Amino acid sequence: MEPELTSYQEPECRARCGACCIAPSISTPMPKMPQGKRAGERCAHLTPDLACELFGRPERPAVCGGLQPSSEMCGNSREHAMLWLQQLEQLTSPGG
């Protein structure tokens, strides 16, 4: 009997997290934030329930759509995601 093959699926976004809309910087201009946003700054498009109001819209910056949830990034908590993204921001910033 051959072993059953199962596909691995990365997690979906954690509800009420918003870490990816706060921790990283965004250099792309967008509505409400024509200069982009600094690392650690809450995105102006993050709703009170921590969802993106630009999700699925053409105005959403490409960097946002390219950042996909993963077990490594999201971990088991919002706090893990914030720390992971803060570290990524530091490692990828000029002079970091």
User: 13-46 pLDDT, tens per residue?
Assistant: 889 999 999 999 999 999 999 999 999 999 999 9
Domain count, the chain: 1
Q: What pLDDT does residue 4 have? A: 57
* Residues 56 and 64 sit within 8 Å (Cβ to Cβ): no
Q: What pLDDT does residue 86 have? A: 96
Q: What pLDDT does residue 94 have? A: 79
Q: What pLDDT does residue 93 have? A: 83
- Give the gyration radius of the chain's Cα atoms: 15
Q: Is residue 27 part of a domain?
A: yes
Q: Is residue 10 part of a domain?
A: no
Domain that holds residue 72: 23-92
Q: Is residue 14 part of a domain?
A: no
Q: Is residue 28 part of a domain?
A: yes
Q: What is the chain's mean pLDDT, rounded?
A: 89
Q: Is residue 61 part of a domain?
A: yes
Q: Is residue 6 part of a domain?
A: no
Percent of the chain with pLDDT over 90: 79
Q: Is residue 44 part of a domain?
A: yes
